[in-house]
Amino acid sequence: MSCCFISVISFLVWLNQTRDFCFNNDAHVLAHAACKTLVRIESSRRVTCAFKSTSKQLTRAQKREEQNIGCGGASLFADWRIVEVAQGSGSGPQRRHNLYPDEIMRLNTISTFAIIMLVSTRCSAQDWSSLWKSYCAAFMDNQIRVIDHDAGDRTTSEGQAYAMFFALVANDRPRFDGLLRWTEGNLASGDLATHLPAWLWGKGPNNKWGVLDGNSASDADVWIAYSLLEAGAAWKEPRYTATGAALAKRIAAEETAQIPAFGTALLPGAKGFHNGDVYRLNASYVPLQIFLGLAHEQPDGPWRQIANQIPAVVQGSSPNGFASDWAEFRPGKGLTPVSPGSYDAIRVYLWAGMLDSGTAERNSILKSLSGMARALYTNAIPPAKVKADGTVEDPKSPVGFSAALLPYLEALGESNLETEQMSRVQSEFNSKNGLYGNPGRYYDQNLVLFGLGSKLHQFWFDLQGRLSTKWQQSR
């Protein structure tokens, strides 16, 4: 009977260590109860369970989880291992109890129910498709515009762009069409081929809804163009391909610059980022894989030249290993940060982590961003704001930051740090609304959709920046 019961609990431990499974707190409590009952029963048979911390790293993670979740049982199987020790040898509890039939029945019931619950809730907090549906329900209206409820119900071209990409990853063509239609009609004067989309739409001072700032945001523009080109190929829709190609050419004409002594770069928008010989750049606007993809589609465009300069943009923006939101290029001084790293910069780590492992520039980019991994060795929660010199201004970021760092930490081979961040993400899943964080905010969900989508292989990029999706591979 000892071997049988030990096998049951070992199976529970193995499930929790398997990346394909995740658990809610109720399941953890049940498993904890099963293990405690096992300890009592097995003690009567001269066998005891000694729980030993596997490392200082795990002990620290367990304490933090208890603080965050308020449930020691929720951390039990993540941070401890079960070892069988004969009574009278080794360390650990040496207690005897009488064996009662009702205890055996209780263990069997709890163990069986715990296993059923663990399997039935498989990936409940990591089900990407369910998160996409929850995101649509929480942040989109019947017009299919993405709404930031924390900013006056505004809509940005960035929100539309990311949602179009996620709709493609989800094989949600009706929603993709709706997002494209709203974006083109409300942000691009009805034609993305001839107008860059305005970056901000919302309620004006006269209580009328419309464009609030007609300037463009190039990061959104390149994601829209890229998603249209990839959607055209995936769904065999020439209209998407033609619109994406036309938008890409307009971006090349209006949002790129040849910077003397630096090279070709993407400006953050069509206006306001070039003053004399000073150029303002944003490393989070230039995901290398997207520009490799655009270079594949339009080899005559500036995309390859921009891609070649992206490692320099990241390095110049991250002199001490932490990406900054904004940097400026000045003759004789090069590219230097002009702001801390925060809500923009977190995406730099995300994009780097999602690069194909064979990408030539990947290692140099990751090396430029080493400060964030170092910070996580002493603080489980990523900083929300870091100065260019590495000084932390705001030590506690929202859950989206942890999700964004999952691909980055995996790329670095930092499995313990990755596990800690995944644990934090899972702990902030709200089963009532299917979102992450309390409250579940618009920007956090975008970062989680990217981070978990990459981690769970809902999508990935090849060496040429071409997109692959899970649904395409399963056809």
Two tokens at 437?
């964080």
Spot the catalytic one: 42, 79, 127, 158.
158
Out of 65, 79, 172, 219, pick the active-site residue.
219
Query: Where does 18-100 have alpha helices with state H?
Result: 25-43, 56-69, 73-79
Give the Cβ contact number of residue 287 at 10 Å. 25
Q: How far apart are CA 282 and CA 302, in angstroms?
A: 18
Query: Is 158 a known active-site residue?
Result: yes
**Rounded Cα gap, residues 132 and 179, in angstroms:** 14
Question: How far is the CA of 279 from the CAs of 219, 257, 264, 303, 338, in angstroms?
Answer: 16, 9, 11, 18, 12
What burial class does residue 429 get, using C-beta atoms within 10 Å of its C-beta: 0-12 exposed, 13-18 middle, 19+ buried? buried
- Can 219 be counted among the known catalytic residues? yes
Q: Pick the closest to residue 335 from 377, 402, 281 (CA basis).
A: 281
Paired tokens of 272: 């306001």
- Cα torsion 337, 338, 342, 345: sign: negative
What is the rounded distance in angstroms from the CA atom of residue 224 to the CA atom of residue 157?
9
Which residue numbers are catalytic? 158, 219
